[in-house]
């Protein structure tokens, strides 16, 4: 009977069920779903492993498993995802923060001194994971995040309030197309001066999947990440064509542009950066050894 199932056995059963549906992260997913349903931390779950699971908990975990088996990513089910050691709220309106994007954070932090006031822009901020992480790690920095999706921006605002106590005072979040002039007019980054001043760093993780490739993506991505966050136009690099020139204009001399890219796009996007005037263009690799970030310097 389910009433005599211990928490430990319930977790094992959830893992087996996910595993039998070829879920490659079955054990991790089962643990995260059980933590969410029970409200217990990993330590509490370990300490209470031999406790019996309540019937209501078993029902709740069954409902969560059913969602996961539709392909819905765990982050979308539980409403949050860890990124660079912090929790970010997510919704259907935002791309779930990806471990690959931590490559950009690592590269950006190496260029941002901790004891200097630096001004940043994040084009296509989504959940805010890039900009808010950089502001949390660099307490004197201020930043502007732009996104075309209002719903994404409201998630970034929510995250700005919870990621670190003072980050919300150092960030401005604007709903705009990155091609539009609206956001340039008279916006001030709190405590940082007008945003039409040149900035020290621009980061972006633009959509970079070719429009025709989207149908071939895994179900978890294709069905549950917003198309606006994925679709990079016919060859996947249209957003880079739009962003690189204006980014060059907005940067200070010596400032940096950091772009997350698709694994096969480094040559094409480096060429766009060089044509716009960037120098010292470097690629950084993700944990799987694939080109993941390009860094260019405005001479
Ligand atoms: C790949 S997601 C990246 C989100 C977040 N920066 C991250 O790294 O997880 C791209 C983001 O760009 C936004 N976006 C797409 N086209 C845009 C445009 N023309 N102007 C502004 N934002 C845009 C999308 O809404 C989405 O939030």
Joined tokens for residue 37: 């349903």
Whole-number Å distance between alpha carbons of 166 and 168? 6
Q: What is the CATH number of the domain that holds 17?
A: 1.10.8
Nearest to 104, CA basis, from 295, 298, 280: 295
Mean pLDDT of 91-120: 96
Classify residue 77: in a domain, yes or no: no
Tens-place pLDDT, residues 228-275? 999 999 999 999 999 999 999 999 999 999 999 999 999 999 999 999
Is there a single domain that holds both residue 100 and residue 220?
yes
Q: Of the candidates 46, 69, 92, which is a domain's last residue?
A: 69
Q: What is the CATH number of the domain that holds 201?
A: 3.40.50.150
Q: What is the number of structural domains in the chain?
A: 2
Closest Cα to atom 24, ligand 1: which residue?
Answer: 229
Closest Cα to atom 12, ligand 1: which residue?
Answer: 124
Nearest-atom number in ligand 1 for the CA of 149 is: 25
At 182, is the pLDDT very low, low, confident or very high (cuts 50, 70, 90)? low
Pocket lining: 124 vs ligand 1, CB cutoff 6 Å: yes
Helix (H, G, I), strand (E, B) or coil at 19: helix
Tens-place pLDDT, residues 113-151? 999 999 999 999 999 999 999 999 999 999 999 999 999
Is there a single domain that holds both residue 30 and residue 112?
no
Tell me how far CA of residue 157 lies from CA of 172, 183, 193, 297, in angstroms. Answer: 9, 17, 20, 30
Mean pLDDT of 200-223: 94
Q: What percent of the chain has pLDDT over 90?
A: 87
**Average pLDDT value for the chain:** 92
Classify residue 78: in a domain, yes or no: no
Does residue 2 surpass a pLDDT of 80? no
Pocket lining: 232 vs ligand 1, CB cutoff 6 Å: no
Helix (H, G, I), strand (E, B) or coil at 10: helix
Is there a single domain that holds both residue 126 and residue 38?
no
Q: Of the candidates 45, 69, 93, which is a domain's last residue?
A: 69
- Whether the Cβ atoms of residue 292 and residue 285 lie closer than 8 Å to each other: yes
Is there a single domain that holds both residue 97 and residue 219?
yes
Classify residue 75: in a domain, yes or no: no
Mean pLDDT of 91-116: 97
Pocket lining: 177 vs ligand 1, CB cutoff 6 Å: yes
Is there a single domain that holds both residue 203 and residue 274?
yes
Number of other residues whose CB lies within 10 A of the CB of residue 249: 10
Pocket lining: 295 vs ligand 1, CB cutoff 6 Å: no
Is there a single domain that holds both residue 100 and residue 170?
yes
Pocket lining: 296 vs ligand 1, CB cutoff 6 Å: no
Q: What confidence score (pLDDT) does residue 133 get?
A: 98
Is there a single domain that holds both residue 293 and residue 193?
yes
Is there a single domain that holds both residue 105 and residue 251?
yes
Model pTM greater than 0.85? yes
Does residue 97 surpass a pLDDT of 90? yes
Residue ranges making up the domain that contains 61: 2-69
């Amino acid at each position: 009977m389910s009433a005599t199932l211990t928490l430990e056995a319930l977790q094992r059963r959830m893992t087996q069920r996910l595993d039998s549906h070829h879920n490659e992260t079955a054990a991790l997913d089962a643990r995260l779903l059980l933590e969410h349903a029970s409200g217990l931390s990993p330590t509490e779950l370990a300490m209470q492993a031999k406790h019996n699971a309540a019937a209501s908990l078993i029902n709740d975990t069954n409902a969560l498993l059913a969602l996961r088996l539709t392909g819905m990513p765990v982050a979308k089910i539980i409403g949050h995802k860890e990124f660079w050691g912090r929790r970010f709220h997510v919704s259907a309106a935002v791309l779930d923060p990806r471990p690959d994007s931590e490559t950009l954070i690592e590269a950006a932090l190496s260029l941002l001194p901790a004891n200097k006031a630096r001004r940043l822009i994040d084009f296509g901020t989504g959940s805010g994971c890039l900009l808010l992480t950089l502001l949390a790690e660099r307490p004197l920095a201020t930043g502007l995040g732009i996104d075309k999706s209002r719903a994404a921006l409201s998630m970034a605002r929510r995250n700005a309030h919870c990621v670190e106590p003072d980050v919300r005072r150092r960030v401005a979040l604007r709903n705009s197309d990155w091609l539009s002039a609206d956001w340039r007019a008279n916006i001030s980054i709190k405590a940082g001066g007008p945003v039409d001043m040149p900035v020290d760093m621009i980061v972006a993780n633009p959509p970079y999947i070719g429009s025709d490739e989207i149908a071939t993506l895994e179900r978890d991505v294709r069905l549950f990440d917003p198309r606006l966050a994925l679709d990079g136009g016919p060859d996947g690099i249209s957003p880079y064509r739009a962003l690189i020139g204006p980014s060059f204009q907005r940067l200070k001399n010596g400032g940096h542009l950091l772009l997350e890219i698709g694994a096969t796009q480094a040559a094409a996007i480096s060429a766009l950066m060089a044509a716009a005037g960037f120098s010292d263009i470097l690629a950084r690799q993700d944990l799987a050894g694939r080109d993941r970030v390009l860094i260019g310097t405005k001479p």
